[in-house]
Structure 1
Amino acid sequence: MRRPDPVPCASCAQGEWDMCRNGQYTERGIKAIDGYASERYRIEPRYAVVVDRELGERGVLLEPASVVAKAWDQIERIGARTSWKPRSVLVTGAGPIGLLAALLGVERGLEVRVLDRVTEGPKPGLVRDLGATYHASSVQEAGAGVDVVIECTGVGKLIHDAMQIVAPVGIVCLAGVSSGGRTLPVDVQGLNREMVLENTVVFGTVNANRRHYQAAAASLARADPRWLARLITRRVPLDRWAEALVRQPTDVKPIVTFA
């Protein structure tokens, strides 16, 4: 998780390090300070989060789970603006973030739909065994009229379509980071009219703070351990770490092992 900036800004001063407003936060292996990958290291207690011992190796899912725990927290806070009781959610992208977003949706008792482009490999089965429905079609076919969209791909076309298919008073959460460099013709005025008249909210989210890590740890502890284990699709030894960065057709989450 991020470390607060030295000023600190108003958000960091309240422990909301993920919402840093002046950009002076630091984060191991991400921004300004080195990462670590050691069996023995020291960490300040304020940044340590207890993980259920029974999770074992599955504890590596805590960080991506914290991202979607924050996403759901923000969705529910925004939804509290009115007497809003969502029934359905579309998750675009069935990578680790998307599948964990779907898990938290199922834990909330929602009808969960997951959209991805692959038709083979572990993803369709993982979604089905979660109790959700898997789609390899389009946003329009998979998600028309859903109350919530959690967009985990960063693909411009999917983002645009998600804004158009969400139900009135719906919420679109952007959790994927776009690579940039591509343009998409969009009727901004038409989209604006539709969103204003239907009270739609679109927001972006990244990272998480301590309470989201704790919520994620609780969600993982409740989940079926066999299902969680299936998210880890490859184990790469440390001396071949670069192989973990080369995407394979059956990948969900490769991990680097230190044994």
Structure 2
Amino acid sequence: MRAVTVTPGVRDSLRLVQDWPEPAAEEGAILVEALAVGICGTDQEITAGDYGEAPPGQRELVLGHESLGRVLEDPSGTLQAGDLVAGVVRHPDPVPCPNCAVDEWDMCRNGRYTEHGIKGLPGFARDRWRVQPKFAVGLDPVLAPVGMLLEPASVVAKAWDHIARIGTRAEWKPQTVLITGAGPIGLLAALLAVQRGLSVHVLDRSTTGPKPDLVRALGATYHTVPVNELDFEPDVVVECTGAPTVVLDAMCKVGPAGIVCLTGVSSGGRTIDFDAGALNRALVLENNVVFGSVNANRRHWELAAQALAQADQSWLNAMITRRVPVSAYAQAYAHADEDIKVVLEFGQ
């Protein structure tokens, strides 16, 4: 069968293997036919050789962590043949740490977790894959064209879950949220914010392309000015760019008793002249919270599946700016300026 692979740590080792072995039974009872995988910045960093880890004893790593497939067989009875399914990306560490022991593997404390298509587990960019019932999330049939968005949606479902938990520290009724960045994570964060009845503002540098229209179609407000030039103080900021200046400006902009959730990952290596003392003073005196959030556990995947099923499906489809057949796999991993979400399709 076909599989898209890299040799981790080796730049430009991306290739389509035509005779990859069938998935081993040890991977899970549920056998799945791949329909598509979404591609994100993580995949592009792995193909650039920046990181990635093959399964033990192997040189190559099958890519793909944003999965969508159709069940071929499930002897466990968890799902039925023909059901749509996505595979949870992260698996708990073998020790396990206190969080992994209670299925909060997204909060792993010792770093020994594994991740499909990223760290120590084969990914979903192959014609067939297997998954354990515990890590298989069934999808509403309406999501057949867009179900590969479940993984990024699970990331923002976790972010909103933790924002709500932090908010219970006091009487807290947020009204306004600022989302920085209108990539897939930012747009999905905005979608979930709209579903929560909040007044949503999205900030991005793009003035052309689909991003402004996608934001406005949600009923949200689109901004292109710097964060510090906005004329309001949001109750919540979900930062999705990882750009250092945007991160710092977001921390300074949030209103009293506000919450800033950082989901973007900075590349590092850049020094900024910044008044850290003033930021500290504001955070302390205004009871603000800044926290980071990455990955998701099964509860968040299920919340994300519900949110996507309730969304306008034409809007979700519009997020997918390119659909590329697996035969043209290299095009899918090549970045284009106006890309939002690129999907590699296996059904072609």
**TM-score bin (small chain):** over 0.9
Q: CA deviation at 1:238?
A: 1.4
Which structure shows the bigger proportion of residues in strand conformation? 2
Q: CA deviation at 1:244?
A: 2.0
2:260 to 156, 172, 185: 172
Q: Are 1:35 and 2:117 matched, yes or no?
A: no
Secondary structure at 2:123 match in 1: coil
Counterpart for residue 51 of structure 1: 139
2:333 & 2:232 partners in 1: Cα distance?
34
Deviating beyond 4 angstroms after TM superposition, the runs of 4 or more aligned structure 1 residues are: none
TM-score when normalising by structure 2: 0.73
Q: CA deviation at 1:183?
A: 1.0
1:142 & 1:236 partners in 2: Cα distance?
38
Mapped contact 1:64–1:96 kept (Cα < 8 A): yes
TM-score when normalising by structure 1: 0.97
Secondary structure at 2:260 match in 1: strand
Q: CA deviation at 1:42?
A: 1.8
Q: CA deviation at 1:143?
A: 6.5
Name the aligned partner's letter for residue 119 of structure 2: K
Mapped contact 1:143–1:166 kept (Cα < 8 A): no
Counterpart for residue 83 of structure 2: none
Deviations 1:76-128 (A, max 9, x none): 00011000110010000000000000000000000000000010000000000
Q: Are 1:92 and 2:167 matched, yes or no?
A: no
Q: CA deviation at 1:36?
A: 2.6
2:114 to 12, 15, 26: 26
1:242 & 1:89 partners in 2: Cα distance?
37
Percent identity reads: 61
Counterpart for residue 181 of structure 1: 269
Structure 1, gaps ≥5 residues long:
none
Counterpart for residue 209 of structure 1: 297
CA spacing shift, 1:182–1:237, aligned 2, 3 Å: same
Mapped contact 1:115–1:135 kept (Cα < 8 A): yes
Once superposed, what is the RMSD of the aligned Cα atoms? 1.1
2:331 & 2:264 partners in 1: Cα distance?
23
Q: CA deviation at 1:53?
A: 0.9
Secondary structure at 2:230 match in 1: helix
Deviations 1:206-227 (A, max 9, x none): 0000000000000000000110
Q: Are 1:64 and 2:152 matched, yes or no?
A: yes
Q: Are 1:8 and 2:8 matched, yes or no?
A: no
Counterpart for residue 231 of structure 1: 319
Secondary structure at 1:50 match in 2: strand
